[in-house]
A and B are shown apart, each in its own frame.
Chain A
Amino acid sequence: MSTPAFPRPLPRVEGDAAPFWKAVAAHRIELPRCTACGTLIFYPRTFCTRCHSREVRWEEISGAGRVYTFSVVHRATHPWFMDKTPYVYAIVELEAGVRLPTMLVGCATEDVSVGMPVEPVFERASDDVVLLHFRPRSA
């Protein structure tokens, strides 16, 4: 008996976050920075929730970062991920100063460690959406 295919859970490229996903689709990481107080904002919002300014400027930031923490998932719960285990669900801290939830790819699960340097992998997930994965940084 074949299992029904579940659609992969993907972000909608709309609203405040649309420029982020469009940039990722073009293999760049861009985030808004508040021009009033200088705060880099992740994830994107309509206004700066620190100082209320609506003046945000999108800027490209480096994808260089380190693993802040991770968990090797052996039992998935979303149906799309069930045959993808084990996979590495992680938070990466970018040098630009923000921490992003992500998936770590391109290395054995037992080789992942906190603090490990990583770089982005732009994973095409559908016609419209590219996801921001990370892998160990090449020397």
Chain B
Amino acid sequence: MSGSGGIAGIAVAGVYEHPRRSAPDKTAYQIAAESARGALEDAGLRLSDVDGYATSGVGPIGVLSMCHHLNLRPDWIDSTAIGGSSFVAQVLNAAAAIRAGLCTTVLVTYGSTAASDRFAVGTGGGSAGDPPDSFDVPYGPTIVGAYGMVAQRHMHEYGTTSAQLAEVAVTMRRHAGLNPDAKYREPITADDVLASRVISSPLHLLDCCVISDGGGALVITAEERARDLAKPVVRVLGGGMAVRHPGIGVRDITDIAARQSGKKAFERSGVRHEDVDLCMIYDSFTITVVETLENLGFCELGEGGPFVQGGRIGLGGALPVNLDGGGLSSNHPGMRGIFLVIEATRQLRGECGARQVENAEIALCHGTGGFLGIRHSGATLLLGRA
């Protein structure tokens, strides 16, 4: 696999995940900067090599402040803001920009002190605003409620059970036990998930991602150049992005953006489902993983519940998912997309020790941003070992 058409020949050359899960002594910019340094060192590059920069979650013109903070004067900048999937989308944007000759070396950073700020990640609030928000906000939406509504409908249409959803949380926790940096590492059982308090039905506390501090960074460059750098080359094979919303009145909320972005990613890369060795799926909630696997086409619609059972998505299973422990157990500082790309890259390089998927050649990353049951984005990326 060498990647397709417009974005062929692009590589992830450097990655870094900030090890801290609680960093009350640090600022978000500090975490982003420490991550930038880490990813550049990983690639064997310096800030002076960076001529493209992308970040998200920093407010409307925060990307300028971040350029200031990192003392960058890039030829290309991107502050895509489509929620937690932004960083996955930015790898595609960066690949296209490099191919178009707008820049050669893109740094992507993320930093957040969500846990220390006691900021309720992804939660609603504010006034009812203008449409479409004003048709929703007066009725008390919450982010857990928006995903809960999706789970409720999925259960109604397909008979999916809370025990099946719990299996996702149990599997992520098992993987977190193999990741020394994960926030929660003690094993849990499906009964623990079901016995945890309901936050917004049918989702329990342990169906929900953790809230942590954290950050990370990526370096994207041409494959030809990456070959001369420090680490094994990980190729960008293809990708896609998409949005789902209720349109002008009727949305099937089991149809999510992954169906569109995933289809594009597979078509553009030429990768087949059976070629994928591992998935990094944005696990904001257990239901997100079930619906994403279905909509990406790893199983039929409605079969996601049984699909995640029996160890299939665990290390050693047919389709291991979120080997780092995911947002459910490792980290979730508000926008998890960058960690999907970081762990996929480490897996494809074979750097993951106890949680390494043996001989991993192709990884899929899928980020979801926003409120799955209201409006959300999806970004899919296929990466391959060179």
Contact = CB atoms under 8 A, between A and B. Distances in A.
Interface of A: 7-12, 15-17, 39-45, 48-50, 68-79, 81, 84, 87, 89-91, 93, 97-103, 109, 114-115, 125, 131, 133
Contacts of B246: 99
A101 B248 CA distance: 13
Contacts of A89: 139-142, 145, 149, 200
Contacts of B142: 73, 75-78, 89
Contact of A39 (B128, B146, B201, B248): B248
Interface in B119-157: 120, 123-128, 130-132, 134-146, 148-153, 156
Nearest to A44: B131
B250 interface: yes
Interface of B: 120, 123-128, 130-132, 134-146, 148-153, 156, 197-203, 246-251, 253, 373-374
A45 B135 CA distance: 13
A76 B146 CA distance: 12
Contacts of B197: 74
Contacts, number: 140
Contact of B128 (A10, A49, A90, A103): A10
A12 B125 contact: no
A45 B245 CA distance: 15
A6 to B, nearest CB: 10
Contacts of B136: 101
Contacts of A81: 140
B248 A42 contact: yes
B128 A9 contact: yes
A14 B359 CA distance: 59
A84 B248 contact: no
19 contacts: A8-B138, A9-B137, A10-B127, A11-B131, A15-B130, A43-B135, A69-B149, A71-B200, A73-B145, A74-B201, A75-B200, A77-B125, A77-B142, A79-B125, A91-B373, A98-B249, A99-B249, A99-B251, A109-B201
A9 B138 contact: yes
Contacts of B149: 69-71, 89-91
Contacts of A73: 140, 142, 144-145, 148, 200
A78 B140 contact: yes
Nearest to A21: B134
Given A73-B148, A74-B199, A115-B156, 13 more contacts: A12-B128, A39-B248, A41-B248, A69-B156, A69-B253, A70-B152, A72-B148, A75-B142, A78-B125, A78-B140, A89-B139, A101-B374, A114-B152
Main secondary structure of the interface of B (DSSP, over half): loop
B148 A12 contact: no
A9 B127 contact: yes
A71 B135 contact: no
Given A7-B127, A17-B134, A41-B249, A68 B153 contact: yes
Contact of A74 (B123, B146, B198): B198
B197 to A, nearest CB: 7
Contacts of A8: 138
B245 to A, nearest CB: 11
Contacts of B120: 77
A99 B199 CA distance: 24
A53 to B, nearest CB: 13
B372 to A, nearest CB: 12
B248 A50 contact: yes
Given A78-B137, A89-B140, A98-B250, A43 B131 contact: yes
Find the residue from A8, A12, A87 having the highest chain B CB count within 10 A.
A12
Max chain B C-beta neighbours (<10 A), residue from A10, A87, A101: A101
Contacts of B137: 9, 78
Highest count of chain A CB atoms <10 Å: which of B141, B247, B373: B141
Given A75-B142, A103-B140, A45 B248 contact: yes
B131 A17 contact: yes
User: Most A CB atoms within 10 A — which of B125, B136, B246, B249?
Assistant: B249
Contacts of A72: 148, 198, 200-201
Contacts of B125: 77-79
Of B123, B148, B201, B253, chain A has the most CB atoms within 10 Å of the CB of B201
B148 A131 contact: no
Contact of B249 (A42, A69, A114): A42
A114 B200 contact: no
What are the 10 tightest A-B residue pairs by CB atom distance, in nearest-first order? A71-B148, A77-B123, A11-B134, A98-B249, A42-B249, A69-B153, A114-B156, A72-B201, A9-B128, A71-B145
